[in-house]
Amino acid sequence: MLEALTTEAILSLATVGVSGLAICGTIVALKATQRKQSRVDVDAIVKTAPYHRLHNVVQTNGV
């Protein structure tokens, strides 16, 4: 069966196969390095915010 295939055809198929594997490996590697986004709890952020530091940022009327 392989006698019908020429050397050029076998090398071309091998090159296409290796290129496909390289592309798939690159996609898998890029997906693995992406950060997982966690959900943000806005209530917890507001409760723990450093409001005591706002006196330098927000202009007040001496209140």
Q: Which two tokens stand for residue 34?
A: 């992406």
Is the pLDDT at 45 greater than 80? The verdict is yes
Joined tokens for residue 41: 């709890």
Mean pLDDT of all residues in the chain?
83
- Residue partners of 10: CB distance under 8 A and separation at least 6: 2
The pLDDT score that the predictor gives to residue 58 is 63
pLDDT of 15 strictly over 90? yes
Q: Of all residues in the chain, what percent carry a pLDDT higher than 70? A: 83
Tell me if the pTM is above 0.85. Answer: no
60 or 9, greater pLDDT: 9
AA identity, residue 60: T
Predicted confidence at residue 16, as pLDDT, reads: 97
